């Protein structure tokens, strides 16, 4: 009976994967999603949850995702641009589906090769999409103009527009550090494959050669985007990875600072601010204009601290605030706040900002806890995922990937990969499922209590931060930053405590059996 239930669950999960992928492709092409398709995915997930022994592991992320789902109907009610907000909500729901698929499927060490192949395929697909669908336009270089004219553009078939270069650059920042980590894995991938009969014949040199080619492809497309924020993020992510692998590379920090000082002195006026202005030229939004946008965005957040203005709603709201009565046509169309944290706060309010920071904090604490006792390949994967996430967040300092961004699905896949390494860490220690590993799956009643505690803390922190916004919005944002960091730590600690308590109870029952 148990074996039959497992087969049904696997078949159902496969069907969810196919429908989710098809829905995401349709969303990319049409900017909308047929409601029956979304309902079908929801029904299959309900069936998956109701099957015996399915989704009992839970995860620290589950409570945060459920809290975010609570915000979505409110977000839909307050938006002034229903079509675009709805499309972003569709994207978020599909990202949640991908999250559940990965955490449900990748449970044992033998599944790690499939997870790695999936991440490598995602990197290739994103770079391919970038080369084909990005709006390649430039006035800065005749050479680049010639290259862009050669590249095909399928963006015109995707709701009439291509992908913005900065957006594509931000999507690609996830991958260079991850691919570098997989490329220099000290043979851990080959060692794992040799322990499984069906993987032994897979040539190691083909694996490394393919990763190298995809890395060069990703970096090439990233360079073509001319997104300085993406370049900076990718470089810092790669550097974090290298230092993590070899602490002796810390000597590069003073060398880098010395080079930075030389570059600053060679700038137009020899000041750091002048250097930053030069660095940001040619991107459509210079640093001074970004600072003005941040200032304006914070003013809007102050008026909508509870609900935000709705996902992707800035293009409608911004002109209402800053349109000139003398020259109304001079107002700039703005789609995001050129900063990920401010964009999240603007679109989903202070509660949404706390959840976003909590997810990043949860990701970091799961990585830290998993890395301590992980085996070699698991550590390689953890280092690549963390370095890639850092690279993307650095990009988010000058640009933005808010909740529901189509290409932002990569962030949720990274969340899922780290979550599955953390949640199933006991199963991933051994090559084969080990009889002495205590069962640590959490009963649904325990998961409900975890959610109630986490959501209660989230509600209290949101209430406190929102109250501060009445007096000083900057203090409110700072409180949200600390609250989200604490909430991310709490959900991981609370989950670990529940697992430990259950494990002790199971060990006491073993002698009786």
Please name the residues in contact with 274: beta carbons below 8 A apart, sequence gap of 6 or more.
267, 268
Question: How far apart, in whole angstroms, are the C-alpha atoms of residue 437 and residue 507?
Answer: 10
pLDDT at 327: 43
Please give the structure tokens belonging to residue 11.
Answer: 């078949």
Q: How far apart are CA 321 and CA 222, in angstroms?
A: 35
Which pLDDT belongs to residue 398? 81
* Exposure of 121 in the CB half-sphere (CA atoms within 13 A): 7
> What global pTM score does this model have?
0.89
Our measurement of the distance from residue 3's CA atom to the centroid of its chain's CA atoms, rounded to an integer in Å, reads: 34
Report how far Cα 215 is from the mean position of its chain's Cα atoms. Answer: 19
Cα–Cα separations (whole angstroms), residue 148 to 135, 141, 222, 227? 9, 11, 13, 15
pLDDT recorded at residue 437: 47
Q: How many residues does the chain have?
A: 513
Instruction: Return the pLDDT at 205.
Output: 80
The token pair that represents 481 in the structure block: 């930053």
In angstroms, the CA 132 to CA 408 distance is 18
Cβ contact 5:53 at 8 Å? yes
Rounded Cα distance, 284 and 150, in Å: 23
3-state secondary structure 464-497: HHHHHHCCCHHHHHHHHHHHHHHHHHHHHHHHHH
What is the predicted pLDDT for the residue at 53? 58
Contact at 8 Å (CB) between 358 and 487?
yes
Q: How far apart are CA 235 and CA 176, in angstroms?
A: 9
The alpha-helical segments, DSSP class H, found in 134-183 are 142-150, 165-172, 175-183
Q: Give the C-alpha separation, 312 to 335, whole Å.
A: 7
What 3-state DSSP class applies to 326? Answer: coil
How far, in Å, CA of 33 to CA of 40, rounded? Answer: 12
Please give the radius of gyration of the chain, using alpha carbons only, rounded to the nearest integer: 24
Cβ partners under 8 Å of residue 135, min gap 6:
153, 155, 161, 162, 163, 164, 165
Give the sign of the dihedral formed by CA 236, CA 217, CA 134, CA 415.
negative
DSSP structural state of residue 134: B
Residue 146: CB atoms within 10 Å: 9
What's the 3-state SS for 74-128? Answer: HHHHHCCCHHHHHHHHHHHHHHHHHHHHHHHHCCCHHHHHHHHHHHHHHHHHHHH
One digit per residue, the tens of pLDDT, for the chain of length 513 reads 456 666 778 888 899 999 999 999 888 888 888 888 889 999 998 888 877 655 556 889 999 999 999 999 999 998 888 888 898 999 999 999 999 999 988 888 888 888 999 999 999 999 988 888 776 665 444 445 555 555 555 545 544 446 778 888 889 999 999 999 999 888 888 887 777 776 667 777 888 899 999 999 999 999 888 888 888 899 999 989 988 887 777 767 777 667 666 665 665 555 555 555 555 544 445 667 778 888 888 989 998 999 988 888 887 887 777 665 444 555 566 677 788 999 999 999 999 999 999 999 999 999 999 888 777 888 999 999 999 999 999 998 888 888 888 888 999 999 999 999 998 887 776 655 554 444 457 777 888 899 999 999 999 999 999 999 888 999 999 999 999 999 999 999 999 988 888 777 766 665 554
Cα–Cα dist 112/91, whole Å: 26
For residue 44, list its beta bridge partners.
none
Q: Give 265-298 pLDDT, tens digit per residue.
A: 665 555 555 555 555 544 445 667 778 888 888 9
Q: How far apart are CA 219 and CA 447, in angstroms?
A: 41
φ/ψ bin of 136: left (φ > 0), alpha (ψ from -120 to 50), beta (otherwise)? beta
HSE-CB of 372 using CA atoms within 13 angstroms: 6
Task: Return the pLDDT at 156.
Answer: 52
């Amino acid at each position: 009976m148990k074996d039959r239930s497992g087969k049904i669950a696997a078949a159902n999960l496969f069907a969810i994967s196919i429908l989710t992928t098809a829905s995401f492709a349709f969303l990319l092409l049409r900017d909308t999603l047929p409601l029956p398709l979304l309902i079908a995915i929801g029904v299959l997930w309900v069936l998956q949850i109701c099957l015996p022994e399915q989704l009992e592991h839970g995860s620290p992320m589950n409570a945060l995702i459920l809290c975010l789902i609570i915000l979505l109907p409110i977000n839909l009610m307050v938006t002034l641009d229903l079509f675009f907000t709805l499309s972003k909500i569709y994207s978020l729901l599909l990202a949640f589906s991908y999250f559940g698929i990965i955490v449900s499927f990748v449970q044992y060490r033998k599944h790690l090769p499939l997870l790695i192949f999936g991440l490598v395929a995602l990197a290739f697909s994103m770079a391919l999409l970038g080369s084909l669908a990005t709006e390649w336009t430039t006035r800065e270089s005749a050479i680049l103009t010639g290259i862009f004219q050669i590249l095909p553009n399928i963006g015109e078939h995707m709701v009439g527009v291509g992908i913005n270069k900065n957006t594509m650059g931000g999507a690609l920042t996830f991958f260079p550090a991850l691919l570098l980590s997989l490329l220099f894995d000290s043979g851990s991938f080959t060692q794992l494959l040799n322990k499984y009969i069906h993987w032994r014949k897979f040539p190691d040199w083909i694996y490394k050669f393919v990763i190298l080619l995809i890395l060069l492809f990703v970096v090439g497309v990233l360079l073509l985007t001319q997104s300085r924020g993406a370049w900076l993020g990718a470089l810092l992510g790669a550097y974090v990875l290298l230092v993590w692998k070899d602490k002796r590379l810390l000597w590069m920090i003073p060398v880098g600072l010395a080079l930075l000082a030389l570059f600053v002195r060679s700038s137009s006026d020899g000041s750091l601010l002048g250097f930053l202005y030069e660095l940001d030229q040619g991107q459509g939004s210079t640093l001074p204009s970004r600072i003005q946008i941040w200032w304006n965005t914070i003013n809007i957040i102050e008026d909508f601290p509870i609900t935000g203005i709705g996902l992707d709603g800035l293009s409608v709201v911004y002109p209402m605030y800053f349109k000139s009565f003398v020259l109304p046509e001079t107002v700039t169309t703005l789609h995001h706040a050129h900063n990920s944290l401010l964009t999240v706060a603007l679109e989903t309010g202070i509660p949404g900002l706390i959840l976003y920071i909590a997810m990043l904090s949860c990701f970091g604490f799961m990585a830290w806890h998993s890395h301590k006792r992980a085996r070699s390949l698991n550590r390689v994967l953890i280092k690549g995922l963390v370095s890639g996430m850092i690279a993307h967040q650095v990009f988010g300092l000058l640009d933005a990937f808010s909740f529901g961004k189509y290409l932002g699905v990569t962030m949720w896949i990274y969340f899922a990969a780290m979550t599955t390494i953390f949640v199933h860490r006991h199963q991933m220690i051994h090559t084969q499922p080990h009889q002495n590993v205590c069962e640590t799956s959490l009963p649904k009643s325990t998961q409900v209590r975890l959610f109630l505690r986490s959501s209660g803390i989230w509600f209290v922190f949101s209430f406190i931060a929102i109250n501060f916004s009445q007096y000083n919005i900057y203090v409110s944002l700072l409180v949200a930053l600390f609250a989200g960091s604490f909430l991310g730590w709490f959900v991981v600690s609370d989950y670990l405590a529940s697992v430990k308590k259950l494990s002790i109870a199971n060990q006491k029952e073993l002698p009786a059996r």
